[in-house]
Amino acid sequence: MSDLSSIEEKMKKSVSVFTEQLAEVRAGRANPAILNKINISYYGVPTPINQVAGISVPEARLIVIQPWDTSILKEIEKAILASDIGINPNNDGKVIRLNFPELTEERRKDLVKEIRKTAEEARIAVRNSRRDGMDMVKDLNKKSEITEDELRTDEDKIQKLTDKYVDEIDKILENKEKEIMTV
């Protein structure tokens, strides 16, 4: 029996990355996570918006960004415009408002296609971890560090882990699809 914790850790990481990517998908609701990858130049240092401003969601389709230092309002506005979130910021001199429009049926279907592609990439990452694990236990068997029976047992365990994490990805995908299609 070999230690399969590193293989399971890689699979968990694949699911975690997939979940983070889905959080950034704009599903018609205001979700502050879409601002996670947007940085501004704050005194010459690239800084995430959430470290220089308060971010709130007062309504289902509105994000309000209130910088602690109002002199960076223009900088935040420029960064949002330069990003690919597709929303024009409204700057009133004190706060920036991001209004999320209702999603069209066509846009919803495009989003579902996008997240399905992301899900497939996550499944591939999990399967790559399975392949690495299988190679590792076969190598241990060749070196006579584990027996044939232990090899079979480890291969079964790796396959069960793979099935578990692929199922988890599928469930997360299904929930996100429902969220997008029923907003």
Q: State mean pLDDT over 112-133.
A: 93
Which H or E element spans position 56? Answer: strand 53-59
Q: Regarding the domain delimited by 5-23+104-181, which CATH topology (the fold level of the hierarchy) does it fall under?
A: Topoisomerase I; Chain A, domain 4 (1.10.132)
Instruction: Name the pLDDT band for 114 (thresholds 50, 70, 90).
Output: confident
Q: Tell me what pLDDT residue 21 has.
A: 84
8-19 pLDDT, tens digit each: 999 999 999 998
Query: Is residue 103 over pLDDT 80?
Result: no
Calculate what percentage of the chain has a pLDDT beyond 90.
33
More confident residue, 51 or 174: 174
For residue 118, what are its two tokens?
């992301």
**pLDDT at position 27:** 64
Ranges assigned E (strand) in 5-108: 39-42, 45-48, 53-59, 62-67, 89-91, 96-99
> How confident is the model over 126-147, as a mean pLDDT?
92
Q: Give the 3-state secondary structure percentages of the chain, helix then strand then coil, rounded to 5.
A: 60, 15, 25
Give the pLDDT score at 159.
94
Q: 25: which DSSP letter? A: S
Give residue limits of the domains in the chain.
5-23+104-181, 32-99
Q: Is the pLDDT of residue 41 over 60?
A: yes
Whether pTM > 0.75 for this model: the answer is no
Q: Is the pLDDT of residue 163 over 80?
A: yes
pLDDT given for residue 26 in this prediction: 64
Fold of 32-99: Gyrase A; domain 2 (3.30.1360)
Rounded alpha-carbon distances, angstroms, from residue 117 to 111, 112, 122, 124, 174: 10, 9, 9, 11, 13
Which residue, 67, 71, 56, is CA-closest to 95? 67
